[in-house]
Chain A
Amino acid sequence: MLQQYSGLGIYLIAAIIFPFIIVFVALILGPKRPNPEKLTTYECGLDTQGPTWVQFKINYFLYALVFVVFDVETVFLYPWAVKFQALGLFAFIEMIIFIAILVIGLWYAWKEGALEWM
């Protein structure tokens, strides 16, 4: 029983040790030329403009949520479309019900104004 896990154990130990080795090697081999510019916050190489702790618009998350719903829908639609002939009428009706439920969700989001950028 335990022997079966030994491979996993060795892998785990190696995975823990490896990052330390990299940091250690970089410490020994890397050239050290400190300057103040290197100590500033990295932000795409440009100086930061204004405060960095800003609030995001909640609408962004609503869009993301609606997107995720239909993203997941396609995950189910693809395999069904590929095997459409084999699955037959029952699966077709099931899919219609599934899409109808999601459409109610979209309708709800639309009506409640989730899709409008205020």
Chain B
Amino acid sequence: MNLSLLTLEIVVATLALFIFILGLVAPANQKRGIGYFTVLSLVVSLIIAIILHGESGTAFGTMYVVDPFSSYFKIAFLIAAVLVTMFSISYVNKLGYNQGEFFALTVLALLGMMIMSSAADFITFYLGLEMMTIPFIILTAFRYGDKASSEAGMKYMLLSAMSSAVLLYGLSILYGAAGSTLYSDVINVITGDNIDALTVIGLVFLLAGFGFKISMVPFHMWSPDIYQGAPTPVTAFLAIGSKAAALAAMIRMFMIALPETREVWMTLVIVLCAMTIVLGNFVAIPQTNIKRMLAYSSIAHAGYLLMGLVAFTNLGISAILYYVMIYVFANAGAFACVNEFGNMTGSDEIKDYTGMWKRSPLIASVMLLCLLSLGGIPPLAGFVGKFYLFTAIIDQGYIWLAFLGIGMSMVSVYYYLIVVKVMFLGKPVEETSVPVSLGAKTVMFVSAVASLFLGLYPAPLTDIATKVAQLFFPM
């Protein structure tokens, strides 16, 4: 077996263990350095990932696949992890305890995501999923003195245990129908003309399990509460990484193992996609807490992302890939702003953002850019992403769905602009400026520049995305 294919995973796993040890041996007054060390090593891992992105092959038989698709997602996860850890340093240092555990668990969750994106086997996929979820549960409950955080952790644990059960049940039914857990075997056994009731039930359970992870309506109930209760950096990583990883695993499973059963799951996916977009956007409007608002907006984005799967074409998949990348930057920037403001004032209420333009022009302007990018206003990257997604589904004849998406995007601009209006037109209650830590400044700068650059000049990234998507639709 070729172990060099697993270089990136081995590096990340070693890093996680090393940070654990570092947290144990470092004296209490020097634990601040662990965060900086984590960021640096993650940047090095990102560089390794970019160097190795051309590799492809299979490991552990055919259970683990390294290909352009998994490399693309791994780079996206690593970017997300770097950005999140960068602005979490000030948060964790303010918390003042267990710095080692926080960063080690973040890296472990990252490892889980990487395994999910490479898994070509039901059990390997499940292993990655749990490896991602369990660190997230601990991270969600990380502020153990805080009732909201503990409650969120408990809720997340119970609900993800339930969704895992549903997912496993679906996987076991599919295993019963196909006689193998390998994607490469499943596709040969479950073909379009022998779909029986058992397979249909398995697919429905599978979709429900995935729906929980990418917060698809009607399995989205957990996300607002947990996003609100969790520490802000963890919320950011949940919203970006967890969703992207589940989406990557879902695309691979449905495209490689179950494309023949498309007639069965496609109808369900279309209906759930439309419901997710509508509900996510409308329920975001009355939210008064910015983390809850971003939670509903991320639900809506899960719906947009599913459109690419509905299209089921090269363009659709490449649109998902492009959108995932810009979603990483826009969300990381927005959450970095929320984090810095919350660090100083302890509040996440939208009304407290009033007059932000006077108190911190940096936060106000980055928040504006990121929210407009999420809303899909040109010339920001979100516009290009949505444009590709809508083009992809219009090509396949789902014009009503595209219109629904465009209409709901307009709705989303409304609630994003409420925040902007409060920040720019409201009178500040206090004149004190909001301090922004160096890490958060870097994140804000990177995400604002990326959102602008990818919007003005999207060609390089879309070229890469199209090439990666050719994996599923060879020319």
Contacts and interface: CB of A to CB of B under 8 A. Distances in A.
A104 B17 contact: yes
B20 interface: yes
Contacts of B24: 107-108, 111
A108 B196 contact: no
B197 to A, nearest CB: 10
7 contacts: A1-B196, A104-B17, A104-B20, A104-B21, A107-B21, A108-B20, A111-B24
Interface in B10-37: 17, 20-21, 24
B270 to A, nearest CB: 30
Interface string A73-108: 000000000000000000000000000010010011
Contacts of B21: 104, 107
A96 to B, nearest CB: 14
B142 to A, nearest CB: 15
A contact face: mostly helix, strand, loop, or mixed: helix
B27 to A, nearest CB: 13
Contacts of A1: 196
Given A104-B21, A107-B21, 8 more contacts: A1-B196, A101-B17, A104-B17, A104-B20, A107-B24, A108-B20, A108-B24, A111-B24
Contacts of A111: 24
Contacts of B20: 104, 108
A104 B20 CA distance: 8
A111 B24 CA distance: 7
A62 B308 CA distance: 45
Nearest to A5: B198
Contacts of A107: 21, 24
Interface in A48-91: none
A108 B138 CA distance: 16
A107 B21 CA distance: 9
A101 B17 CA distance: 8
Contacts of A108: 20, 24
A104 B196 CA distance: 48
Nearest to B1: A90
A107 to B, nearest CB: 7
Interface in A1-34: 1
B243 to A, nearest CB: 29
A61 to B, nearest CB: 14
A107 B20 CA distance: 10
Nearest to B100: A108
A111 B22 CA distance: 13
A108 B21 CA distance: 8
Nearest to B3: A90
A108 B100 CA distance: 11
Nearest to B21: A104
Interface in B148-182: none
B15 to A, nearest CB: 13
A104 B16 CA distance: 11
A107 B24 CA distance: 9
Contacts of A101: 17
A1 B195 CA distance: 13
Contacts of A104: 17, 20-21
B395 to A, nearest CB: 39
A111 B21 CA distance: 11
Contacts of B196: 1
Interface string B396-440: 000000000000000000000000000000000000000000000
B269 to A, nearest CB: 28
Query: Which of A1, A107, A108, A111 counts the most B-chain CB atoms under 10 A from its CB?
Result: A108
| 8 A-B pairs with least C-beta separation | A111-B24, A104-B17, A104-B20, A108-B24, A104-B21, A108-B20, A101-B17, A107-B24
A34 to B, nearest CB: 41
Nearest to A111: B24
Interface string B180-201: 0000000000000000100000
